[in-house]
Structure 1
């Protein structure tokens, strides 16, 4: 049985992962330094924590469910305790792409990140329809990268990720650098910023006299069809001439020339992950 040490098991993400790993084929030992986190894990899952040394001494894989800015520091504190061949699984590409991981060539570095449940899905069960984050009831895709280590470790780590992010549909293999393009560049620098701007614009419409609920219903409903057309989900979908004209007139007002290069250029992505890890 593959032995797994889950570091940060009492945090928000750690509890999610611990819950999904319960009853799996893995022998999981849970590590949490804070008394509050230990109690949270026990209250929500019934699981007990063990000492770090005990968990690491025989681990085949170590999952770091800790903040990006602490991964390098935490891993450096115990990397010498790991057996050769141990796989270290991280949940985000920021730390490995920023170069904050300690150098040790005889262990594996693997990254697995959730895509979260897709906007267009086939969920019908109430709990799945309201699982917006994923990893509870709704199906989701995941992204994985083997930063360093033998090729045979890829499947072992991917299988672990499929379990703690389950239920999983597609699992995409990328490089660490490509994962950093996906997050923070695509999903956060662009996606999250656009999401905030959409909410800000809805508030602005309300300030200008539109009933707030009417503005929200109108925008979210339009986003459904607009995104379905843009991503080819709507069969034969096509934007109206008026909509295309509105885009043509608004795009140069809202976006400056070269804005994508400012986000996606390699040096911009690297600077973003370095900032996250500070």
Structure 2
């Protein structure tokens, strides 16, 4: 593995450091080259595109890069090392207090956009249950500039991160965040409800970077991964306007079970797929 001390003896160029770091990370990451490029760009204070397109290869690799690689080699997620994650059109601050937003979750935004495009109205009030970093809510507010939003999370630390991101995105005048437990105690009704609840079974095998670093409160949900759906879905009808919808993220094998929970609540369900054609979003309506 590359060590900072080695660069003091024989400085490595950026090209050499990227090559050796990617080799080191191959044992812990399926995206070793991408990880190294992101971490190198961050260490240089530039974007990855600028690193790839610029004339950086022969310059000396900064010491901060080797420290970042050391952290990644210990399975720390790249997003936590960088301190941010890009989601939809936004760059969001992330810390170990919040789940790292993933491209799969963008399926919920795509689904909502497609739905309202077919309707004669746009969402005016948006609710995000388990808001975490605020990713889903802030992405939706970025799409519908006249809408207002409420983000709810059980974690005070997550609420702080969500507010920080709302401020960075210029959404604070239109959004409110509060500590709460799913939809409990909310009297207002919403045109769009977004939720990425915990849906991983308690004993499921998980990658080390997820298991050891991301908040378990946002990951695990009972023996089958369904406990939170059973709590959230029965409360959805009282949270929606007459034409409102809910978009919930689901695990790849949960479409049937979640749809059954919805049916028992009197809601209709439609399943939408992510880019890898896996069931990812259930759209619920009256």
TM above 0.5, one fold?
no
Going by fraction, where is helix more abundant, 1 or 2?
1
Q: TM (normalized to structure 1)?
A: 0.29
TM-score normalised to structure 2 length: 0.28
